[in-house]
Chain A
């Protein structure tokens, strides 16, 4: 038989050991099996909190272990049958046909429709949370940009007196905003990449699984960039525009 890594660790079993398996805690009717290998269970996000204490036997061995001698049918009973179709696109038709032939049987496709996928819902939930975060951050960014613009009031006034046009100054602010926003977004992506390893190792250790909980992909980094940079530029221009609209003399305090 094969043991899951978690079970092998729990019972201190290694390849080649002989392990007795029984269907009750007293060990009555137990049978001895040799551990042929130890495997890592396929990570399942739907069951990541479950302890994967699993053993894999050949079906005849399992039936011999669990069958009820008084019930002849129990030796020919299974919990589930996995089917691979020749043409995966026929899944829906095949499911309907099988249900029609065997009423009461629970027939399900292993591929989930988007509307029935809980991870699609979680995706929408996370998107909504990130929108709220972006809104809050934008308000803070605008406040900071306004403070910064006020700080440079006299400098802007002096530049205007020297003949530098509003347009040039606005372009300068836009470029400055672009550089700061791009640097901020890049720094944010770096933090996310760093956090990815920490979060995954914490949760993988907590649940004893190889499931990946957080993955910062290029597309996510690009999306963050695509949102952060225009917002940063817009906040910079918006905050400076109130200053640039003012009379030159008021800018230099005259």
Chain B
């Protein structure tokens, strides 16, 4: 009988304790797996989001990458955009302007929306079309105010492509001298950087101008640049800085670096702290269960030794028991961890301003490998003390004590 088989027989004999210990390892292992997914999840997801837009350089009028409604705009956006497009390091340029507005369907209540005016259509900017058609190019349409609704806004207003919206510049209950503008919904889209707590309304630059009372303001909050493939983002950033030293150009790598240093630090650290705690916790609990279990079976182990089963096989059997409990718990931890990660991700995405498409827990093969390595190490270390106990016990006196007891 091999050590593995002996260990299997023991674990099936003490079924209740094995099942409970496995559940314990599975739950704690799920938490460990989640913390490993969290350790780099936000950075991976954010990088994916940045790359998805097809732009690798962003230009702003002030330091820092947060694009908010309170940001100082870049004045003369068209002229600047055209100058940037002439640079040999640049392949494509687009710019967006943010503003506040209210929107309502006919006979419905007004809601506050974030108005996103874009110089180019969605497939080249930052949204994914769900329903209807994309925004037309300003130059090719006679439509006065075509709009795309964010997914959550479409649901809130119960609006479809073809619906007419009454859009009013400014806030709800704000006294504004500007008249409301009738806009036509051309489609429903998911803005990549939209957060769940805001409603997005996307339109062309001409549409934005209409809503603002036809006041011509050639401004942009952020100018997005796709670098030429043979030049790369770093070269494009250098060229833009040379062109306009007063503006701030950031490559996707710069944005990620800033994000990594500021917004993400807390989650990386909580992930490290909790991963360490869960590993220590799993080690302590598995070691305790194996030690108590070995003490309970000390007579049985002495009898096996008396029958001629060597120390190595006994040690190997206890190691297998540890591997069986931690291994099966660790495997169960993967789907369980996945399910828990979905729930935790949903909680964290309630943070204000977090884009709906951003995820805190993202799977990557390295996390799985590290999870398995940590649990294997835990199983080995947890079995050390029970093995030491079992292999050093004096056979004769132990058997005598058991019989007398």
Flag whether A74 is at the interface (Cβ < 8 A). no
Residue of B nearest to A199 (CB): B273
B132-140, B171-179, B366-374, B380-388: which lies at the A interface?
B171-179
- From B27, B171, B344, B351, give the contact of A136 (CB < 8 A): B27
A14-22, A95-103, A156-164, A171-179: which lies at the B interface?
A95-103
Contact bitstring A118-147, B, C-beta under 8 A = 1, else 0:
100100110011001101110110111011
- From A121, A128, A150, A242, give the contact of B296 (CB < 8 A): A150
Interface members, chain A 92-115 (any B CB < 8 Å): 96, 99-100, 103, 106, 115
Interface members, chain B 279-319 (any A CB < 8 Å): 281, 285, 288-289, 292-293, 296
Interface members, chain B 30-48 (any A CB < 8 Å): 30-31
Q: CB distance A118 to B171 under 8 Å?
A: no
Bound: A142/B17 CA distance, A: 8
Flag whether A151 is at the interface (Cβ < 8 A). yes
Q: CB distance A144 to B288 under 8 Å?
A: yes
Q: CB distance B292 to A148 under 8 Å?
A: yes
Q: CB distance A129 to B31 under 8 Å?
A: yes
Tally of contact residues, A, Cβ under 8 A: 33
Residues of chain A with a CB closer than 8 A to B70's CB: 106
Bound: A31/B21 CA distance, A: 69
- From A125, A128, A137, A143, give the contact of B289 (CB < 8 A): A143
What's the nearest-Cβ distance from chain A to residue B321, in Å? Answer: 13
Flag whether A116 is at the interface (Cβ < 8 A). yes
Contact bitstring B4-17, A, C-beta under 8 A = 1, else 0:
00000000001011
Contact bitstring B262-284, A, C-beta under 8 A = 1, else 0:
10010001000010000001000
Flag whether B2 is at the interface (Cβ < 8 A). no
Q: CB distance B350 to A99 under 8 Å?
A: no
Flag whether B122 is at the interface (Cβ < 8 A). no
Flag whether A86 is at the interface (Cβ < 8 A). no
- From A96, A115, A139, A151, give the contact of B20 (CB < 8 A): A139
Q: CB distance B171 to A129 under 8 Å?
A: no
Q: CB distance B289 to A140 under 8 Å?
A: yes
Q: Chain B contact residues: over half helix, strand or loop, or mixed?
A: helix
Flag whether B348 is at the interface (Cβ < 8 A). yes
Residues of chain A with a CB closer than 8 A to B176's CB: 100, 103
Residues of chain A with a CB closer than 8 A to B25's CB: 136
Q: CB distance A140 to B31 under 8 Å?
A: no
Q: CB distance A143 to B24 under 8 Å?
A: yes
Residues of chain B with a CB closer than 8 A to A118's CB: 351-352
Inter-chain contact total with CB atoms closer than 8 Å = 100
What's the nearest-Cβ distance from chain A to residue B61, in Å? Answer: 14
Q: Chain A contact residues: over half helix, strand or loop, or mixed?
A: helix
Residues of chain A with a CB closer than 8 A to B265's CB: 49
- From A99, A129, A133, A137, give the contact of B174 (CB < 8 A): A99
Bound: A128/B170 CA distance, A: 39
Given A99-B174, A139-B23, A128:B343 Cβ within 8 A: yes
Residues of chain A with a CB closer than 8 A to B343's CB: 128
- From B269, B281, B347, give the contact of A121 (CB < 8 A): B347
Flag whether B340 is at the interface (Cβ < 8 A). yes
Contact bitstring B336-358, A, C-beta under 8 A = 1, else 0:
00001001100110111000000
Contact bitstring A216-252, B, C-beta under 8 A = 1, else 0:
0000000000000000000000000010000000000
Residues of chain B with a CB closer than 8 A to A144's CB: 288-289, 292
Residues of chain A with a CB closer than 8 A to B175's CB: 100
Residue of A nearest to B348 (CB): A125
Q: CB distance B27 to A99 under 8 Å?
A: no
Residue of B nearest to A80 (CB): B70
Q: CB distance A136 to B292 under 8 Å?
A: no
Residues of chain A with a CB closer than 8 A to B174's CB: 96, 99-100, 103
A sample of 18 inter-chain contacts (CB < 8 A) reads A49-B265, A96-B171, A99-B171, A99-B174, A103-B176, A117-B352, A118-B352, A125-B344, A125-B348, A136-B24, A136-B26, A136-B281, A137-B24, A139-B21, A139-B23, A140-B24, A140-B285, A143-B16
**B: which residues have CB within 8 A of A?**
14, 16-17, 20-21, 23-28, 30-31, 69-70, 169-171, 173-176, 197, 261-262, 265, 269, 274, 281, 285, 288-289, 292-293, 296, 340, 343-344, 347-348, 350-352
**A: which residues have CB within 8 A of B?**
49-50, 96, 99-100, 103, 106, 115-118, 121, 124-125, 128-129, 132-133, 135-137, 139-140, 142-144, 146-148, 150-151, 203, 242
